Amino acid sequence: MMEGWAAVLFYASVLGQFVLVAVSIFFLGKLLPAKRKRWLHLPDRPWKHVRVTDERLAFWKLYRDSLDYKARAALLAGCGLEYDPGLYLLVRRIAMQSCILGVTGCGAWLAIGEARPVQAVIMAVFAAVFVCAYADKSILGAWKKARSRRVIQEVHAISVQLLYMQGSSLHIHAKLMRCVPYTRFIRSDLQRLLGEWYHDAEQSIRQFKHRIGTEEGMSFAETIESLRVHDHEAYYVLLRERIRDYKDKLELLKESRKESSSYMLFMLAGIPILYTFQVFIYPWVRESQALFDSLN
């Protein structure tokens, strides 16, 4: 009787998961953009133009004015992901519910008692995906922190080159063109900025600022806008101060990484100490305790 109920629960969960995935694929397929690319010579990703409507978000109990939405939006921007936070939250919600159904189905399958290794592996995969989706804030936060360090390094290099070309009569666009070889991590974003420059310079800088997403990238975009509008000596003084700030942040990040490495090495060094205590010291403690118990 128990196996019969387990089989029913398993097939019901599989059917529910299939229906959920099919409906999700249908709605996500309808969100695919049909708009022609504006800049054919620039690399583009179609999914970044997708914007989920408020009605579809409300159907899944998701709202754009919620704190959870705003927090995910800030993290996605800091990670350089130009996708609609509503789409991200929708995919996350669907993935978590699919994993719950998958774990339920695998549990029912295990209760039947067939192909246990396969069931355990599938359940572990579903559980791992669920944990990653549930702890996505921590994952995105670590990603944002690592990306911020790379952005600071390259923004510092570009700023140094702009300061070096201070007395040049070149336009700021030409100066930035000469700074492209000094970039690697944000090269595509910088090339896109330069490609869109003469269409609308202010809008291109604003989009560059949004794509970078980090605090240092935003301040660098504001510096570029200031140099574009007023190529004056005073703004190079501001650039020199920004370079000093970037250098200080890089030093702090370097010290932080050293402290993290030292902490990890300290933790790893504690493992042999615990093993030594267990093998050599603990038997003496146990024998001493037994001796005192016999005397009492």
Query: Do 150 and 119 belong to one domain?
Result: no
Distance CA 156, CA 184 (A): 13
Q: Is residue 169 part of a domain?
A: yes
Alpha carbon distances (Å) from 199 to 150, 154, 195, 220, 266: 29, 25, 8, 21, 55
Terminal Cα distance for the chain, rounded = 58
Distance CA 166, CA 34 (A): 45
Query: Do 125 and 172 belong to one domain?
Result: no
Query: Which residue, chain included where needed, has tokens 């991590």?
Result: 185
Query: Do 109 and 179 belong to one domain?
Result: no
Domain with 124, as residue range(s), is 2-134
**Confidence at residue 42, expressed as pLDDT on a 0 to 100 scale:** 46
Distance CA 42, CA 48 (A): 14
Q: Is residue 291 part of a domain?
A: no
Q: Is residue 265 part of a domain?
A: no
Task: Answer yes or no: are the C-beta atoms of 178 and 171 closer than 8 Å.
Answer: no
Q: Name residue 99's amino acid.
A: C
**Confidence at residue 41, expressed as pLDDT on a 0 to 100 scale:** 43
Q: Name residue 191's amino acid.
A: Q
**Confidence at residue 277, expressed as pLDDT on a 0 to 100 scale:** 54
* 122 Cβ neighbours under 8 A, 6+ residues apart: 102, 106
List the structure tokens of 88: 């991200």
Q: Is residue 85 part of a domain?
A: yes
Q: Is residue 279 part of a domain?
A: no
pTM of the model: 0.65
Q: Is residue 280 part of a domain?
A: no
**Confidence at residue 38, expressed as pLDDT on a 0 to 100 scale:** 45
Task: Give the total number of structural domains in the chain.
Answer: 2
Per-residue confidence of the chain (296 residues) as pLDDT tens digits?
A: 445 555 555 556 555 656 656 656 655 555 555 444 444 444 455 556 677 888 888 888 888 888 888 888 888 888 888 788 888 898 888 888 888 887 777 776 666 665 566 667 777 888 888 888 888 888 888 888 888 888 888 888 898 888 888 877 888 888 899 989 988 888 888 898 998 898 888 888 988 888 888 888 888 888 888 888 877 777 788 888 888 888 888 888 777 666 666 656 656 665 666 556 555 555 666 666 776 677 66
**Confidence at residue 52, expressed as pLDDT on a 0 to 100 scale:** 80
For the chain, where are the alpha helices, taking DSSP H only?
A: 2-30, 54-59, 67-78, 85-112, 116-134, 136-164, 172-179, 187-195, 201-212, 215-229, 233-276, 282-295
